[in-house]
Structure 1
Amino acid sequence: MLINPSSKYRGVAPVDLPDRQWPNRRLTRAPIWLSTDLRDGNQALFEPMNRARKLRLFDELLRIGFKQIEVGFPSASRTDFEIVRHLIDADLIPDDVTPMVISQLREDLITQTVRSVAGARRAIVHLYNAIAPAWRQLVFGLSVSQIVAIVEHHVGLLKRLTAAHPQTQWVLQYSPETFCMAELEVSLAVCNAAIETWDASPQRPIIINLPTTVEVSTANVFADQVEWMDRHLARREHVVLSVHPHNDRGTGVACAEQALLAGAQRVEGCLFGNGERSGNLDVVTLALNLYTQGIAPGLDFSDIAAVARVAEDCTALPIHPRHPYVGDLVFTAFSGSHQDAIAKGFAAQRTDAPWQVPYLPIDPHDLGRTYDSIVRVNSQSGKGGIAFLLQRDHGIVMPRRMQVEFSAIVQSLADASETELDSAQLWAVFERTYLTPTRAQSGFIYHAHRLYDDANGQGIALQLDDGSGALQHRKGIGNGPIAATVAALGVPIRIDSYEERSLGAGAEAEALAIVEAAWPGVPGTRFGVGRHPNIVTASVLAVLSAVARFADARSHPQAPITDADH
């Protein structure tokens, strides 16, 4: 039995704002986006990203279209410092992208932070300190006037240090940490101190960032707090007002949306909401929420599955199958009534009409996903039973997205024959689909291969039959046998994931290799499977299987094409 909460929790007092304007406003454009995946998101990982993963995720953030990226905490991490310097010294930051680095209010940390980005074309230095009563009284033992003096001193230091590097355009971002738990008058005092000390102007840009460091109130209270600050900040015309919502109450996206109505111009968050405790703002969800309201987000999520795979690989955090917009199951209806409504919606939907399909708030095609499995699979006749039979009778353990893909294929055959498929028939479909697809259609029938070492990576020499009996000899180099095989084939296939299984036990066991692949211009992904006693051979066969499936799909455009996620 829970205790009486009124004796333990105080809640947050409402803001005295009787003439609040935000409830009557409507969003009409996207905010300025800042990705904090490489800093706030990274520090919340079980194992922080290494240099290679950070640089890979940085490249993905650039591809998506972020123009401001928080690249690290260089005064707290030698790795972060070196990565920031590498990005600048190697000129890897595009002219229209601004890196941001963060520092607490300490002289040595600020000095090191400025050193990390000196020489960049433009840089944001993010300074922050905690100002709420619990921190002032219990952690630091400081008065409000002392907190204000600390802000003035360290912003003044930053101003002097950056003046020594005029080749860089410097932007100050100041965050009153724990803003959502602090008195508004105190937040205003420290923010105005930063604004005045920095001497904010068109030539001296400043960002005031209001974080829900720990989310403690309903989203409407946060919106009131933001609107109050929007009205009272000094030199408001020279200030970019930003928010950094966390998700402790599960309302980070709602806080961001309502804060934008209240006057915020910029938001900070991570792609899929990674961050301390319950996470930061989920940028993908907010951006696509705007998209469904007719607002161009300015970020490219037209291949959402590829973005998800990069994020999962770099962070080692799985994305929930029911995650908005990107989860493996969000466009799959298990309920028969849902399937019926969706099918009727598709039948009525015109290409030149506004989107109006029941149960689908967004067109899956806009995210690079297809319609095929949406109304084909449910828990009774779809992937659950199929996956069980394949595992029980044949030892095949399919990844979840492959279960969705294959169940749609089986369901299509079951509908056409109007009969049930037994285990033997199911295995025949699996073999025909993945293990012996029409490889002659692709011109790549496996004959043999040889691995060799190369100075640039792993080399592979392939012998392939083009279907006529004549052997082709192809070579490729990559960071492993799979990448080398793709290079040798010379086709634009992209391998998104790889898994291997053992079929049986002992010396007679065979290896099963499974790849998930994408092809430019083809929505979604396809799976390829290879089976062989040698795992490298099985992996090569899996790549050839995926290539053949894409080739077969293109040669039969009238046939339904299923894919892994969608």
Structure 2
Amino acid sequence: MLNYQRYQRVPVMQYPEREWPNREIVKAPVWCSVDLRDGNQALIDPMVVDEKLEMYELLLRLGFREIEVGFPAASQIEFDFIRRLIEEDRIPDGVRLQVLSQCRKEQIDRTFECIRGCRNVIFHIYNSTSTLQRDVVFGMSRDEVRELALQGVRWVREGMRDFGGNLMLEYSPESYTGTEPDYALEVCNAVIGEWKPTPEQPMIINLPSTVEMTTPNVFADGVEWMSRRLDRRDSVILSIHPHNDRGTGTATAELALLAGADRLEGTLFGNGERTGNLDILNVAYNMFSQGIDPKLNIENIGEIIAVCERCNKMPIDPRHPYGGKLVFTSFSGSHQDAINKGMQALRERNSKYWAVPYLTIDPADIGRRYEPIVRINSQSGKGGVAFVMDSYFGFKLPKGMHREFADVIQKISEREGEVAPEEIMAAFRESYLDCKEPLHFRRIQVTDLSNETESSFDTKVSVVYTEYGREKSFEAVGNGPLDAVGRGVRESLGREYRILDYTEHALTAGSDSQAAAYIHLMDADSGRVTWGVGVSSNITRASVRGIFSAMNRLHEGASQNGIGV
């Protein structure tokens, strides 16, 4: 039995005046990527300088204007990487490098040494304020922890005397989620009072969900509560830094935006300590799916995946939102059918808005392809098979034919597992287009009898075919080529076939276009029915090939059931 009694419920703030549930996200926040610091420190094999450069260049292309590039006092690699960015003039105008330091003088001094010559910097200092860490890690009182934060601010101001660049201060009460709200406010307001930001020169107060401890609505309450009570609020950029310990990092971020957060810190695809950081791309694509400009250049998710997997040396999960290989894939037959109908409706209605069941966005809008949308296995239905035949190969199977061909694919999938589109086409060709035994149609000549008043029929056909390899022929008349061929088959083969349905369409455009004809045929003697398919540049030949295809399928079915033909 789970020993759940070992765990205490995290206290919930009593905050009935909350207003965030009635708000909507209407614009993008300020984005700050921490891939090169928080993300990098969580890698099994941290990035070397060249890999950090590749990730940094990607972040610039994506449009990030605030990038936490490292913890320069923590390691020489971090220090050297930041120096290279500065010395090689790799920092575009309008981009701020963010550097992290604990509230310790030797670390702050080392950080200033590292950023010498940088034009625009966010100097990010932090100390843990949580009840648990004050007790078991630092053994410090509330007053002592608050004084440590204030001393960190003073050391940063001292370092600014010889810096010369544009510096913005960021302060984080680390483990904010485990800190008493009144104490977190006390420390943050003390820091604000010490730094004295203005609307023209604001500072950042960053509230980290360093460890996600409760539901996202509780965090949102804390953000709104703080936002309403922070001193000099018009001079403060309120930032959040969610982690994902409970698997709700994205929800935490989105509710915090409703609650008044101006800025989000996170990583691409959520790489980070334990279960990871906030997935910035998830939030950005969510905004995009709601018609909001995310203010990031995220049209080519394939490039983002390639760089992240190469630099982080970790794969993107196949089910990861937006980026996973399977997220625009459907195995369920009912889903496949709905996607098929949705895509058809979208084309027919020429709608300016995307609206397809089970696809929240058009995969093409973020650089994905339609081909992976539908994959066929033993759980797939007739709609999915029909969708593959249409979208991949241009065969628009009549609705009445969907079940018959789906049963063919079902048998293959039960035997072999997933069936690729090429395998589906091969089965279609074998079952219909190449079904030429025992009766193989060779050629047809059609004569128009409409001017011959003595004839009650308007068409004469001369058909050559082989039966078990022996060439045979017949001539017949009828009202149109198909009626004439049907009469000829009855007289030549001694069997009565009835055409129940007939459909045709062009496969390709242009002078060399091909036509596909679908014939639903019934053996009048046995009552058995099947479909046949023919393809030709001439619609009459395509139709006759469809009749012979269906007759052969009926013969094959009769042979398997022990019925004489």
> How far apart, CA to CA, are the structure 2 residues paired with 1:365 and 1:217?
37
Q: Decide which of 258, 271, 274 is 2:271's aligned counterpart.
A: 274
- Structure 2 match to 1:121: 119
Cα separation, 1, equivalents of 2:191 and 2:143: 14
Q: 2:68 is matched with which residue?
A: 70
The answer to whether the Cα contact below 8 Å between 2:172 and 2:206 also exists between their aligned partners in 1 is: yes
Question: Within 5 Å, which residues of 2 pair with 1:26-37?
Answer: 26-37=24-35
Match of 2:102 among 93, 99, 104: 104
Q: Answer yes or no: is the 8 Å Cα contact 2:333–2:379 preserved in 1.
A: no
Report the 3-state secondary structure (helix = DSSP H, G, I; strand = E; otherwise coil) of the residue aligned with 2:214: coil
CA distance in structure 1 between the aligned counterparts of 2:56 and 2:332, rounded to whole angstroms: 40
1:377 is matched with which residue? 376
Amino acid at match of 1:377: I
Structure 2 residue corresponding to 1:205, chosen from 185, 202, 205: 202
> 2:8 matched to 1:2?
no
For residues 375 and 320 of structure 2, what CA distance do their matches in structure 1 show?
A: 20
Matched, 1:286 2:287: no
Residue aligned with 2:373, SS: coil
What is the rounded CA distance, in whole Å, between the counterparts of 2:80 and 2:128 in structure 1?
Answer: 27
State the shift of 1:418 in Å.
4.2
Structure 1 gap ranges (5+):
394-402, 422-554, 560-566
The amino acid that maps onto 1:371 is Y
Q: 2:43 aligns with which of 26, 31, 45?
A: 45
One-letter amino acid of the counterpart of residue 32, structure 1: V
CA distance in 2, matches of 1:415, 1:192: 71
Q: Match of 1:102, SS? A: strand
1:306-385 to 2 correspondences below 5 Å: 306-349=303-346, 350-378=349-377
Q: Equivalent residue of 1:307, what SS? A: helix
Decide whether the 8 Å contact of 1:33 with 1:266 is kept in 2. yes
Q: What is the SS of the residue equivalent to 2:277?
A: coil
| Contact 2:72/2:100, CA 8 A, preserved across alignment | yes
> Which residue type is aligned with residue 88 of structure 1?
I
Are residues 352 and 184 of structure 1, via their aligned partners in 2, closer, same or farther at CA, if it must alter by over 3 Å? same
Distance 1:380 1:9, change over 3 A: closer
Residues 43-98 of structure 1 deviation map (CA, whole Å, 9 limit, x = unaligned): 00001001111100111111111111110110001001011011011110110211
Residue of structure 2 equivalent to 1:411: 424
Contact 2:200 2:235 in 1 (8 A): no
Q: Distance in 1 between matches of 2:371 and 2:354?
A: 18
Deviation at 1:115, TM superposition (A): 1.6
Letter in 1 for 2:148: I
2:203 is aligned with 1:190: no
Identical aligned pairs, as a percentage? Answer: 49
Q: Return the structure number with greater relative CO, CA threshold 8 A, min gap 6.
A: 1
Following superposition, the deviation at residue 414 of structure 1 comes to 3.6
Aligned counterparts, 1:153-552, within 5 A: 153-166=151-164, 168-349=165-346, 350-378=349-377, 407-415=420-428, 418=431
Query: Aligned partners of 1:420 and 1:284: how far apart in 2?
Result: 46
Query: Counterparts of 2:153 and 2:433 in 1: how far apart (Å)?
Result: 72
Q: Following TM superposition, by how much is the alpha carbon of 1:416 offset from its aligned partner in structure 2, in angstroms?
A: 5.3
Equivalent position amino acid for 1:61 in 2: L
Instruction: Please tell me the root mean square deviation across aligned C-alpha atoms, in Å.
Output: 2.7
Paired residues of 2:112 and 2:163 also in contact (CA < 8 A)? no
* Deviation (angstroms), 1:408: 2.9
**Counterparts of 1:417 and 1:210 in 2: how far apart (Å)?**
63
Q: 1:146 aligns with which of 133, 144, 149?
A: 144
The structure having more radius of gyration, on CA atoms, is 2
Deviations 1:304-362 (A, max 9, x none): 11210110000001111011111001111111111100000000114543221111111
Q: Aligned partner of 1:87: which letter?
A: L
Aligned length: 407
**Alignment check: 8 A CA contact 1:241 1:263 kept:** yes
Query: Residue 239 of structure 1: CA displacement?
Result: 0.3
Q: Distance in 2 between matches of 1:319 and 1:185?
A: 40
Distance in 2, matches of 1:87 and 1:147, equals 34
> Which consecutive unaligned segments of at least 5 residues does structure 2 have?
389-408, 435-509, 515-565
The code of the aligned residue for 1:2 comes to L
Question: 3-state DSSP class of the match of 1:224?
Answer: helix
**1:372/1:13 Cα in 2 relative to 1: closer, same or farther (>3 Å)?**
same
| Deviations, residues 124-167 of structure 1 (Å, cap 9, x unaligned) | 0110111111111111111111111111111011012113222x
Q: After the TM superposition, which segments of 4 or more aligned residues of structure 1 sit over 6 Å from their partners? A: 380-383
Query: d(CA) in 1 for partners of 2:246 and 2:339?
Result: 32
Contact kept? 2:72, 2:78, Cα under 8 Å: yes
Does the Cα contact within 8 Å between 1:28 and 1:295 map onto a contact in 2? yes
Aligned AA (2:360)? P
C-alpha distance in 2, partners of 1:228/1:268?
A: 20
Closer, same or farther in 2 for the Cα pair 1:362/1:75, shift >3 Å?
A: same
Counterpart contact for 2:332–2:379, Cα < 8 Å: no
Residues 1:420 and 1:85: Cα distance change in structure 2 (over 3 Å)? farther
Aligned mates of 1:260, 1:24 — CA distance in 2: 12
- Are 1:11 and 1:216, in contact at CA under 8 Å, matched by a contact in 2? no
SS at 1:59 equivalent = helix
Q: Give the residue type in structure 1 aligned to 2:420.
A: S
> d(CA) in 2 for partners of 1:89 and 1:158?
22
Does the residue aligned with 1:174 lie in a helix, a strand or coil? strand
2:307 and 2:87 mapped to 1: Cα distance? 25
* Structure 1 residue identity aligned to 2:315: P
Which residue number in structure 2 is paired with residue 91 of structure 1?
A: 89
Distance in 2 between residues matched to 1:114 and 1:25, nearest whole Å: 41
